[in-house]
Amino acid sequence: MPANKKLLILPGDGIGPEVMAQTRRVIEWMARRRMVSFDISEDLVGGAAIDARGTPITDETMQAAKDTDAILFGSVGGPKWDKLGFDMRPEIAILRLRKELDLFANLRPATVLDPLVDASTLKPEVVRGLDLMIVRESTGGVYFGTPRGVETLPDGQQRGFDTESYTTSEIERVARVGFELARKRGKRVTSVEKANVMQSGLFWRQTVTALHARDYADVQLSHMYADNCAMQLVRNPRQFDVIVTSNIFGDLLSDLASMLTGSLGMLPSATLGAVQPNGKRHALYEPIHGSAPDIAGKGVANPLAQMLSFAMLLRYSFDMEEDARLIETAATAVLAKGLRTADLASPGATPVGTVAMGDALLAELDRVAG
């Protein structure tokens, strides 16, 4: 079986290498049991790259990232590197990857697996079965818009300002990602902005409406103000299928949505670039948690978010829906058996470690694959 799927693995710092080691076992299982092999390369990134090479990500690693089909990223950062100047911080690695690969669509699923329904701070009847996807524009908007700065006014006061701005193509390309995703899910998109008080919000709404009429009439489109969306996510989150929104609103709403599910150690994400002329698109997959320096090296980190990020990679970069589902089903089955890492364990329960969770996941993979 030729290994024609190129995969770049960047474990990073802290718990990154620990959870990635367990995910490597899942990748090996895929090769053994599903005859899916990858052409894998692995490299240093973040603090590990600073220590070894004096930079958070080398140009060679950047080139490998541009040449690969998909990137599986761990997490970067930690107190050891906190005092370095801004340009030398481990987080520069991820910023550089996002910028140079133009990864403009950040996908954050918020899924409540049945065995974890009690981990949410919301009532089980509100979150049971929750399965929504937030698509956040991630390279534009007010975090990047110009002019920005702090100026001194004639009366001696100072004024700080940023600019929210979106072009037609910036809105259309991220909305397209949302519509395409919805076609494979519940066929519903909610576009979120503040069209009532922001010109750029009104423009966002008009642009999404026109694109919908032109190319995606088979998908149901609704519009919602961002403040209402925040309220609705807590009141009745199951009303949503796919939410598409700007950088700043997506930043807030996706963090809010992640907490509906109860644990940081469970949540994967994807960031996608544009489809290139050769039909491929840059894509980076990573858990939403960081390097968790407080538990690094202790063997207690939950590896499931990293494994579920690999499941997303199979689904979105290689169209391997069945294999992605195998991993997700196995993760649910492990949790249904009562196995919990420390982040999920209820008080008084005995948690399992990272490797034991990996063992259990592989055993369930064997079982569900038959």
Whether 67 is catalytic:
no
CB of 292 to ligand NAD, least distance (A): 4
Whether 194 is catalytic:
yes
Nearer of residues 7 and 10 to ligand NAD, judged by Cβ: 10
Helices (H) and strands (E) in the chain, counts: 12, 12
CB of 244 to ligand NAD, least distance (A): 22
Nearer of residues 255 and 366 to ligand NAD, judged by Cβ: 255
Phi-psi sector, 319: left (phi>0), alpha (psi -120 to 50), beta: left
What tokens appear for 195 in the block? 């069209």
Catalytic-role residue among 43, 102, 251, 359: 251
Q: Cα 14 to the chain's mean position, in Å?
A: 19
CB of 291 to ligand NAD, least distance (A): 4
Q: Which residues bind ligand NAD (CB under 6 A)?
A: 15, 19, 75-78, 91, 94, 264-265, 286, 289-295, 301-302, 305, 341, 343
Quick one: which of 325, 361, 326, 323 has its CA closest to 340? 361
Whether 255 is catalytic:
yes
Catalytic-role residue among 255, 294, 319, 366: 255
Q: Give me the amino acid identity at 299.
A: G
ω into residue 293 within 30 of 0, thus cis? Answer: no
* Integer angstrom CA distances of residue 62 from 32, 65, 143, 149, 258: 30, 5, 23, 30, 30
Distance CA 66, CA 280 (A): 11
Catalytic-role residue among 39, 82, 114, 227: 227
Nearer of residues 186 and 353 to ligand NAD, judged by Cβ: 353
CB of 217 to ligand NAD, least distance (A): 37
CB of 127 to ligand NAD, least distance (A): 20
Nearer of residues 189 and 307 to ligand NAD, judged by Cβ: 307
Distance CA 211, CA 176 (A): 8
Distance CA 332, CA 63 (A): 37
Q: Are strands 131-137 and 70-75 parallel, antiparallel or unpaired?
A: unpaired
Which residue numbers are catalytic? 143, 194, 227, 251, 255
